[in-house]
Chain A
Amino acid sequence: MSIKPIKSRSPYLVTWHVYAALFMREFTARLTQDRFAPVWLFIEPILHVSVMVAVRNLIGRTRLVPGADFIPWLVVGVTTFILFRTLWNKGMTAITRNRTLFSYRQVHPADTVVVSSAMESKLQSIVLLMMIGIFTALGFDLIPHNPLGVMEVWIAVGLLGLGFALCFSVLVTFFPESAKIVSLISLPLYMLSGVIIPIQMLPHSIQQYLLYNPMLHAIELIRGDFFATYHMVRGVELSYVYEWAICTILLGLALQVRYKVRMISR
């Protein structure tokens, strides 16, 4: 009457099955959340960017950015930062949200974080393409001058977000209060990454400290790849972003291995 079990799967195949199943589940869950969900998925980030652009355009004073138009410059920065922030925030809570799934022994806590990050980065990539489409149609110059470079930075930001998600998900699972602190520091980080204020305007003595922030590097670099004439902040490097990404991912994976049993049994 019941089916024959598959004899035994290799660990890699099990992981692949879990990833595929979780991905489809997460996606269906997002789409069936409420009636508005399928639209909201894309409208939300677009609205966010539009509001930022509108506010900044109406009340901002410094509209002069060296080597780029102000609005496309802002759109690229905000979209890139949102990719990072969404990966971080959603991935951070993935373990808590999916706690009940750990009764299936194939599902590990790290899987939920990885899948959540993969899905969010897919959605955000679609958002980026939509932004390029919308703003180009509105007459702004938002066609990347170096598309491969854009992809390279975009992937780096995705990996950085994954690394942060892996580390912080362990923290948030044991100390739920820390989620509040994370949302608290994400606003200053928004400012310090040069998303809405051009860092070039700041004195060099401040710049050299701001350059410790990998998101500043990423955002400047992706702008440099979008606009041919853009003058990036001096000292930004792609390898710095990748170093951060690799270190946080490795640290995150180590934490996931160390605390796996305690996270499952909570």
Chain B
Amino acid sequence: MIEARNVWKRYHGPFGGDWVLKGLNFQIPRGVSVGIVGKNGAGKSTLLRMIGGMDAPDKGEIIERCRISWPIGLGGGFQQSMTGRQNVKFVTRIQGGNKYVDQIIEEVQAFAEIGKAFDQPIATYSSGMKSRLAFGLSLAFDFDVYLSDEATAVGDVTFKKKATKAFKDRIGRSSLIMVSHQVKILRDLCQAGIFLHQGKAIWYDKLDDALDDYYESIGQKPTHRKKKNQGKYAHENLDDDED
């Protein structure tokens, strides 16, 4: 369970800054995947960083009673001169998985499918290879909650499918908190929604309601075709240019 209690956050830039989040209150129950929607600059990524422990609220607190991942696909911690294998070992050790190093390496290798490059320095990787490795690394550990910040948008088409499938396999065991502008992916993976608007967070038990209000706030109609299936955000009703 993750609970936000009166969370306030502002940016401490050289020119001061306005409040971005003004008193958020919500509870994310165990096992519920949540999509966070809102305009650019509404504080979605900031909220995700705070849930991930990479930032702290200025006021209020975030209470976490579960294991939360770092944002999926974040390859920031990779040391450029070390090989993929060495970097995977490093993260495994930090997470306390010393006994499972071999197992995790195998799994990451299978997921990332970067072949021989796994034993070459990260500096030689293309950005796609890097994100494959980072993605595989996040999924090799069993977290209760995974965080994702537009992460599924990386890689080519087959990899994208694989990533989405990997998430779907985990439903039931773990949940997901996701920031994305891609309705399809949100709709595929999340049940509930949080809509960030003017510094407040509004919780919706159904993601569709959050999307409705989000589209209303930006003054657009969601681009969906005439009703064919259960809901207007259903997969078949969405245009392909969504992503």
Contacts and interface: CB of A to CB of B under 8 A. Distances in A.
Contacts of B67: 5
Given A3-B140, A29-B79, A265-B49, A107 B94 contact: yes
A103 interface: yes
Contacts of B23: none
A100 interface: yes
Given A3-B104, A29-B82, A24 B93 contact: yes
Interface string B37-67: 0000000000001001111100000000001
B100 A3 contact: yes
A41 interface: no
A9 B97 CA distance: 11
Contacts of B81: 29, 32-33
Q: Is the interface of A mostly helix, strand, loop or mixed?
A: helix
Interface in B85-126: 86, 89-91, 93-98, 100, 103-104, 107, 121
B52 A13 contact: no
Interface stretch (A14-22, A51-59, A69-77, A245-253): A14-22
Contact of B94 (A5, A104, A265): A104
Contact of A261 (B56, B68, B79, B97): B56
Q: Is the interface of B mostly helix, strand, loop or mixed?
A: loop
Contacts of B79: 25, 28-29
A104 B70 contact: yes
A6 B67 CA distance: 11
B188 interface: no
A14 B107 contact: no
B52 A105 contact: yes
A20 B93 contact: yes
A181 interface: no
B93 A105 contact: no
Given A4-B142, A28-B86, A17 B98 contact: yes
Interface residues of B, number: 38
A1 interface: yes
A6 B52 CA distance: 19
Given A21-B94, A104-B77, A28 B140 contact: no
Contacts of A32: 81-82, 121
Contacts of B140: 2-3
A100 B87 CA distance: 13
Nearest to B58: A261
A3 B93 contact: no
A21 B56 contact: no
A3 B142 contact: yes
A178 interface: no
B238 interface: no
The residue among A2, A9, A33 with the most chain B CB atoms within 10 A of its own CB is A2
A103 B107 contact: no
A20 B96 CA distance: 10
Given A2-B139, A17-B95, 14 more contacts: A3-B142, A6-B96, A17-B94, A17-B96, A21-B93, A21-B94, A100-B76, A103-B54, A103-B71, A104-B70, A104-B94, A105-B68, A105-B70, A265-B54
17 contacts: A3-B104, A20-B93, A21-B90, A21-B94, A24-B89, A25-B90, A28-B86, A29-B82, A32-B81, A33-B81, A100-B76, A103-B71, A104-B91, A105-B54, A105-B70, A261-B55, A265-B55
Interface of A: 1-6, 9, 13-14, 17-18, 20-22, 24-25, 28-29, 32-33, 100-107, 261-262, 264-265
